[in-house]
Structure 1
Amino acid sequence: MSLLRSTLTLLAGGALAQLIPLLLGPVITRLFTPEAFGVFTSFSTIAATVAVVACARYEFALPMAREAREADSLLALSLRILLAVLLLSLPLAWALHRWGYLPLPGLLPLAVVAAGLLQLLTMWSNRAQRFRALAISRVLQYGGTAVLQVLLGAALWWQTRSPAGSASAWALVAAPIAAAMIACLVLLRPAPAAGWRGVLPLLPKDKPDLPLTNDAIQADDLRRVASKYRDFPLLNTPHAFLGTLQDALAVALLIAWSGEAAAGFWGLALRYLKAPATLVGSAVSQALYPRLANARPADAQRAVRQIMLLLGAVALSLMAVLMIAGPWLFHLVFGEQWRDAGELARALAPYIAAHFVAAPLAVVTMAWKAQRWAFRWALVGQLAFVLALALGLRLGGLIAGAWAVSAAMVLYFGIYFWRLAFWPAIPEPEPQDPAEPGVKELVEEMP
């Protein structure tokens, strides 16, 4: 399957996955109050902060594995790390709840394992180029979340005949957990060489009642891949963790200065404003990453530049719509109580446009073995984001904080785009099967 066709397949599935929440969003916002969304946003940012390191980012090395046994070993290693993180999330949930930072602590371990397993199986299917299954899983994940939130919200509304408040925010939280687990089911194929049995906890081969084939993963396999791809836990994990921690800190600042309703406005606005970036970014990056790692430097740089230009044109159009009609659109679609979220959307529009372009480019520094630079630069961006928000909240409240974030992040992403466009040290690809398509095909197929 060509890179362009792969991207279009993922885009089609992603479009449907985003369309369902978009259509059901106005129903959900009338079934739950902004305060309930504030609790949901608070929980979700903390859960995402933990889940992003659920497999120590080893799952992102799967598309780079040359041999099937190496990929199976990475899968086995990731599953063991996921189990360890799940166990650690139990005391973490208790501690965060006791300190007053985490609502609904009992759901945190479930959220972590669901998100971590889905990300692992997504990269597993990505390596196998099962783009149709990936598209279906996205529909089940995002569309299923919205459907379940409507069903649970309707049941709660029927009891009180009014929107559910913060005490019923568990319904908003439980829905994405259930949807993620359902989405995992379609990504279980292809199985590893020895079957899923072969990547379970290590078992001795000398026991006749526990037969293992030669394909079963052993401790030496795990140590080898853990060492070979150690940059992922050492560099990419803290990079990703700090990115989600940025969101958690932002929500904590909003609640401290403006209350749960402000966090609800913020969460709803970013959820819908970032939906196009999630749709396009995930589709482009999932199709691009396996090939970009194998492209010649000139072809890779040319493809990245063209992708940035194409996404930039779309981003400017989206920004113009939000700047002109953001408050009116949010009022019309979500109801009068969400008009402040529209004002917030207008102020965040420049940041959202830059993020739209940047979202698919995260895999570029992975493929170009530039994770050290990406980590250092991400620290700059995360610090700028939090400081700009805090300064804006202190000086002028919620909307001022959003404008301050946009100003800081447009400058930050501008420098980031310039560096990628003129990256000086793109590595030569390792030898590959000449029948496997590369980035050159993408460049030739792009209009």
Structure 2
Amino acid sequence: MTQGLFKATATLLTGSVAAHALPLLLGPALTRTYSPEAFGQFALLWALATNVAVVACARYEYALPLERAEPEAAQLMALCGHVLAAVGLATLCAAGVLAWHSGMATYWLLPLAVLALGATQWLTMWATRSARFGLLSSARLVQYGGGAVLQLGLGWWLMGPTGHTESNALAGRWGLWGLCAGAIATALLAAWLLARPAPQGGWAACLRAPWPALRAMALRHRDFPLLNTPHAFVGALQDTLTLLAVTAWSGDAAAGLWAMSLRYLKAPASLLGGALSQALYPRLVQAPNAQAARQAVHHSMRLLAAIALPMAAVLLLWGPALFTAFFGSRWAGAGELARALAPYIALHFIASPLAVTTLAWKAQAWALRLALVGQVAFFAGLLAGLALDGLTGAAWGISASMLLYFGYYFWALATWKGIPHEGRDESLA
């Protein structure tokens, strides 16, 4: 099983390296084309879209690997599609209110962003169910690598290579459109790639799925919307509320610095962590016994820690110098944030891929309760740090407050006693 997990992770990692290398390599060009203000506005709108998209299918998509039979899987796919359409319609109404209240026409992009991100997440789990790891790698390359390329191309087309226009306000407005359009277009393209092959009966059959069958499927997997949806929403809400707090405290430029630092600091977690979680989840579900499942988690923890700790050390020692040299002088503040956030990012890097463990082990209720505690700890550190030392203080406050939380989380997973396979093991003993 360990060899299989390594092979699946390596396959996903191959595409992920290119997918995340492109945005990283294009970073200096992007930061010299788009202003911190434009990045701050984009980050807030994208955080809102992500917050909704993460629960756009009510987390029913995460039940797809549990459905082995094709007819039932097709019904679950139909249920996900209906829920996503309903959430998209509700977001369209909310976007109209936000656009009217703020006077920003870009809020009309919000429902399209939610549909693009929600569909990509849903269809990623569809590909994960059938272990189509090569397709997952290609889709990730299109979404993230292609997104950065398109954002840069749109920025040069709208504002020129150096981002100069007639006024800073005009540059910010055009920059926001370029960043949003590039990210949405490539997410839609990735979803289109992941949509093949269609579920049994084709996509048309999903639209015609009878309501009694959808209702039965919804009840069968009700733990996902009841327990995992609040957990996922609260987790995504963290980024949204953080950007709102930073914007309210220091303005759009500060939000841009914060978003840019986290974009690069969390890139390794998205790169390796996303690949590992997609490979780990079906392995945990299909593990022959509890010992094998526990060993897979222990192996993943050790691997992630061996990567995270050296990265954190580099940021603590040379974070400000690296960010200034790489992105330009107007982004120097992001380097100070990177140094302060380094301990938190290392812990998050280890924890992020392990989130699928509680899904496979049917521990969503425990994960939800712990996530709420984590949110309280995160915002306590954020707000205390803002009050004591502004933006940099907030970053150090988060790193300090999350240390005990993640320490308990790792210990709990490593010593977990309620693995579903354990009852089977005992009966066979």
Structure 2: segments with no counterpart, 5+ residues? 425-429
Show the 5 A alignment for 1:376-387.
376-387=369-380
Show the 5 A alignment for 1:283-294.
283-294=275-286
Distance 1:23 1:353 in 2: 22
Structure 1: segments with no counterpart, 5+ residues? 203-216, 432-447
CA contact (8 A) 2:55 2:233 kept: yes
SS at match of 2:199: coil
TM-superposition CA deviations, 1:310-367 (whole Å, max 9, x none) = 2111100010010011111111111111110000000000000000000110100000
TM-superposition CA deviations, 1:379-431 (whole Å, max 9, x none) = 11112112211111111100000000001112211110011001111111899
Range 275-284 or range 291-300, more displaced: 291-300
Distance 1:300 1:159, change over 3 A: closer
Distance 2:131 2:68 in 1: 14
Residue in 2 aligned with 1:26?
Answer: 28
Range 387-396 or range 231-240, more displaced: 387-396
Distance 1:100 1:413 in 2: 38
Which one of 173, 179, 182 corresponds to residue 175 of structure 1? Answer: 182
TM superposition score normalised by structure 1: 0.90
| Deviation of the 1:157 alpha carbon | 2.6
Which one of 193, 206, 213 corresponds to residue 186 of structure 1? Answer: 193
Distance 1:429 1:392, change over 3 A: same
Distance 2:60 2:348 in 1: 25
| Deviation of the 1:189 alpha carbon | 1.9
Range 92-101 or range 254-263, more displaced: 92-101
TM-superposition CA deviations, 1:45-92 (whole Å, max 9, x none) = 111111111100100100111211111111000000000001100121
Residue in 2 aligned with 1:348?
Answer: 341
Residue in 2 aligned with 1:109?
Answer: 111
Which one of 215, 219, 222 corresponds to residue 223 of structure 1? Answer: 215
Show the 5 A alignment for 1:45-444.
45-100=47-102, 104-158=106-160, 162=164, 165-168=171-174, 169-200=176-207, 202=208, 217-295=209-287, 296-428=289-421
Distance 2:262 2:155 in 1: 21
Distance 2:320 2:293 in 1: 40
Counterpart of 1:150, as a letter, is L
Distance 1:41 1:144 in 2: 18
TM superposition score normalised by structure 2: 0.94
SS at match of 1:397: helix
Distance 1:353 1:170, change over 3 A: same
CA RMSD for the aligned pairs?
A: 1.8
CA contact (8 A) 1:327 1:345 kept: yes
| Deviation of the 1:220 alpha carbon | 2.8
Which one of 31, 35, 38 corresponds to residue 36 of structure 1? Answer: 38
- Report the structure, 1 or 2, having the larger helix content: 2
Identity %: 53
Residue in 1 aligned with 2:427?
Answer: none
Range 91-100 or range 64-73, more displaced: 91-100
| Deviation of the 1:3 alpha carbon | 2.5
Distance 1:193 1:430 in 2: 34
Distance 1:324 1:72, change over 3 A: same
| Deviation of the 1:105 alpha carbon | 1.0
Q: How many residues align?
A: 416
Distance 1:102 1:302 in 2: 51
Residue in 2 aligned with 1:440?
Answer: none
Counterpart of 2:268, as a letter, is P
CA contact (8 A) 1:293 1:429 kept: no
TM-superposition CA deviations, 1:228-264 (whole Å, max 9, x none) = 1001000111111111111111001101111111100
Distance 1:96 1:421 in 2: 44
SS at match of 2:196: coil
| Greater than 3 Å deviation, 4+ residue runs | 96-103
Distance 1:114 1:360, change over 3 A: same
Distance 2:422 2:145 in 1: 38
Distance 1:401 1:96 in 2: 28
Distance 2:406 2:6 in 1: 26
